[in-house]
Amino acid sequence: MIIEESRIESIFSHFSEKPIIILGDVMMDRYLWGEVNRISPEAPVPVVEVKEETLHLGGAANVAINVCKLGAEPYLIGIIGNDLKSEIFNILLGDNGIRSDCIIIDKNRPTTVKTRIIANNQQVVRADQESTEEIGPELEDEIYEMVDSKIDHARALIISDYGKGVITRSLLERVISLCHSKNIFIAVDPKDVHFKSYKKVSVITPNHHEAGFAYGKRIRNVDDLKEVGWGLLKILEAESILITRGAEGMALFEKGDRLTFWPTVARKVFDVTGAGDTVISSFAVSKAAGATLPEAAFIANLAAGMVVSEMGTAQVRKDELLKEIRHYLKRSKNG
């Protein structure tokens, strides 16, 4: 598929026209950066001498940052705890230019924090502080009302499901039905526990492991990929499925038997943390700006290639992404 630079520039010029709703599991990513010079005398484990600590927004909140960096306005809807970590979370929202008026506090659950210990540029261990218990009817109603209050101002809705309890089957049914009634584009970053509940969405973006697990067939080659992709598209009655394939790039399955492959553009891979957030956000923002599904997948593929080349949770800026796409198109024309 040939994409002209003028077409990409036209899509990018419309990125800021309409807000994007992000609904899902919000969290913080905590990083402890250090070095390993010895083994603990207490157990056969490395001792990490911590040199630096950094905090970043993660999960659905990282999707919101991605949307913001691309020039669109995010409406972030999620749940945090009534704890010190929630105060830090709200400060980070403000630092990133994201409003917190749609963030709900649940005193019965902690604010989700993932702590990663990085030594010599390699992740040593990860520790999660979280609750995965599903929210009750009252919180579900409150979240639905939040979505309903913002839907008329938005052009797309991203469901960022990390399996932490905010996304429930009944909430999915209600929100998807609402979006259909308002002609809102629905993009889903899935979790396997709810996979069969993402019915009739506009796009769903599983990686090849998630897609194979959901369909019940391990993807070992292109024939397996096609069977899984077309099978899930039919089961979910979705408009499209974008399967991310790691080093093999991406495959976009669309209604009408259209299949488009995008090769990977990552020249080096340090860390895939947050790559799925970048894919779903850049895809949704592009589609909301008037891109076709293949055009949105092309943009998302380039964006993903940029973030995996950095260590830690990362995002791409609109101007940086446009520059990267221009360079890619130029390289492609020159062979």
Active-site residue, 152 included? no
Give me the residue label for tokens 């960022």.
Answer: 160
Q: Closest by alpha carbon to 76, among 143, 165, 129, 136?
A: 143
Give me the residue label for tokens 């790559």.
Answer: 275
In angstroms, how far apart are the furthest CA atoms of the chain? 63
Determine the straight-line distance between the first and last CA of the chain, rounded to whole angstroms.
15
Give me the residue label for tokens 């938005």.
Answer: 154
- Give CB contacts under 8 A, 24+ apart, made by 325-329: 325/5, 325/8, 325/299, 326/5, 326/8, 328/265, 328/302, 329/3, 329/4, 329/5, 329/8
Burial level of 260, CB count in 10 A (0-12/13-18/19+)? middle
Q: Do strands 185-189 and 156-160 pair parallel, antiparallel, or not at all (unpaired)?
A: parallel
Catalytic residue among 25, 161, 189, 277: 277
Question: Where in the chain does DSSP place strands (E)?
Answer: 20-24, 26-39, 46-59, 74-81, 103-106, 113-119, 122-129, 156-160, 185-189, 203-204, 240-244, 250-254, 258-262
Please list the active-site residues: 277
